[in-house]
Structure 1
């Protein structure tokens, strides 16, 4: 059970509140777009433990088809959406007025990795022109894969990325249409258990060590209209993130409730870090790497996406 589930005020997250007193907010309902990923486990646990409800917020998690759909639904069917920082930053750079409301997940050891079935492919620099499956071109998988392979000495122009769903990657490796696949958990563990796959390279080391993976964003319009509501959301999110960080077993256990993963596999899943707050320096890493890899039209200042007063 979450250490702070009994009371939010005991964790010091609601300044100015005492007992049943709650801060005044513009609205007490929030619809949050999510995908079935490890990153959102703290939100799932927070709902189970009624952390938002105790703070006076009614939160509904809405499963969306993909990150782009979630961003498009802001200000219509969603108030906040989860997304990879790469997608959120690209959308902002392309003109979508977003404000980041929290960090969701930070990569840890073997939480994202290149996986292969080819025993001869035993080091990242073994192939001059590797065929790599990624779930989405231009997203975090492509970015970290390219960065890691370039660091290993593979020329960028030789890297051949092929887009496909995680669920199809093992079959593609078996068929020999790709040499390796970029995967996240629990797909890494499933590929190891069910197909005898092995990790060719951890893509959360070197320049991508502790890489900021994903976060939550609202539209700037919604943020400007509901600053106290979103401040409260960030406070409860911090509580949920901290509790999840202190209880990885609960995180692994809750995965079975919203992901296609059995208890045995969930128990083996590598878990990264759940950041407690928006960190401008950490998030600027993502923007700068995107600039280096030329996936942004120009360098982005992450401060332009943060709530006023974020330090």
Structure 2
């Protein structure tokens, strides 16, 4: 979520920005000899954004879930899910975070990408359209002719906003979308460069507390309620070549997702260790949910929305790009 969830200034926001603009190094991920469990690789590089969405990767490392599976996982900071596709294709990453809109667009373009695990699903008020406190814009219909900042064009941001425009009787052609990284949105809007922004956490909390911004609309309602945002991907070739390694990753990440979904305190404790989000901010931000199962029916909703709003030219059967998790027991 994908969320091109989910590169995500302000006293709070400025500190967070450092984490969200960092980049990881590439380099070939080395093959290792099979271990006692028969894993094809025992050390893998996994791309992730330093945001709350990817917390299960760090929980699984800290709790020893990967180690229990015979895996050493090296997190690599990426700049976005779409940007990571070339890195998994050239082998500098084994697995990476991705948002589902980018993934389905890539699949339609012929990329041989597989979804291997779920990560993040939207909840109420963690992807909002925000405006300055003194803005004359008081309803979505008032956005006609206005400029809305999004982190990426033709991705989950614009798709989510467009669903809300539709409810208000508008289309995407009635507004102007402009790209701006999340850390820069608050100041850009406050200085008059745009009228509104599609903002996620922790920047919702930051712009509210430091700039007095207010919520115009929650974009994860109606057609986008509980929208799946982000997951983990690998290339089809990698998945076929490393089935035991992939299964080990899936088991460990699912265990971490289950913990994240059942105990917010675990998320709050972990997020400050790999981002610049402070414990104080981590304790108050609005979080989505962390599904432990990659459910084709839920993900099909994203692909169908993309088709409806012309982000895809033809239907995609999501089941065809999911690598099933290993059987329990």
What's 2:72 paired with?
Answer: 58
Q: 1:23, CA displacement in angstroms?
A: 4.3
Find the partner of 2:123 among 83, 108, 122.
108
Q: 1:310, CA displacement in angstroms?
A: 9.2
The alignment of Structure 1 onto Structure 2 pairs a total of residues equal to: 291
Measured in 2, the distance between the counterparts of 1:270 and 1:218 equals: 29
What's 1:72 paired with?
Answer: 86
- Please give the secondary structure, in 1, of the residue aligned with 2:140: coil
Measured in 2, the distance between the counterparts of 1:144 and 1:115 equals: 13
Q: What are structure 1's unaligned runs of at least 5 residues?
A: 1-20
Q: 1:22, CA displacement in angstroms?
A: 7.1
Q: Does 1:177 find its partner at 2:193?
A: yes
- Please give the secondary structure, in 1, of the residue aligned with 2:141: coil
CA gap of 1:127–1:66, structure 2 versus 1, over 3 A, is: closer
Deviations 1:231-258 (A, max 9, x none): 2211111100000111112212322222
Q: 1:81, CA displacement in angstroms?
A: 0.7
What's 2:21 paired with?
Answer: none
What's 1:206 paired with?
Answer: 222
Deviations 1:86-135 (A, max 9, x none): 11111111111011001110001111111110442122122322311000
What's the RMSD between the two structures over aligned residues? 1.9
Measured in 1, the distance between the counterparts of 2:98 and 2:171 equals: 29
- Please give the secondary structure, in 2, of the residue aligned with 1:115: strand
Q: Does 1:158 find its partner at 2:170?
A: no
What's 1:124 paired with?
Answer: 140
What's 1:281 paired with?
Answer: 297
What's 2:60 paired with?
Answer: 46
Measured in 2, the distance between the counterparts of 1:51 and 1:310 equals: 16
Measured in 2, the distance between the counterparts of 1:41 and 1:143 equals: 25
Contact 1:212–1:282 (CA under 8 A) maintained in structure 2:
yes
What's 2:108 paired with?
Answer: 93
Measured in 2, the distance between the counterparts of 1:192 and 1:228 equals: 46
- Please give the secondary structure, in 2, of the residue aligned with 1:298: coil
Q: 1:260, CA displacement in angstroms?
A: 2.6
Find the partner of 1:244 among 256, 260, 283.
260
Q: 1:84, CA displacement in angstroms?
A: 0.7
Q: What are structure 2's unaligned runs of at least 5 residues?
A: 1-34
CA gap of 1:308–1:46, structure 2 versus 1, over 3 A, is: closer
- Please give the secondary structure, in 2, of the residue aligned with 1:216: strand
CA gap of 1:134–1:310, structure 2 versus 1, over 3 A, is: farther
Contact 2:122–2:289 (CA under 8 A) maintained in structure 1:
yes
TM-score with structure 2 length normalisation? 0.84
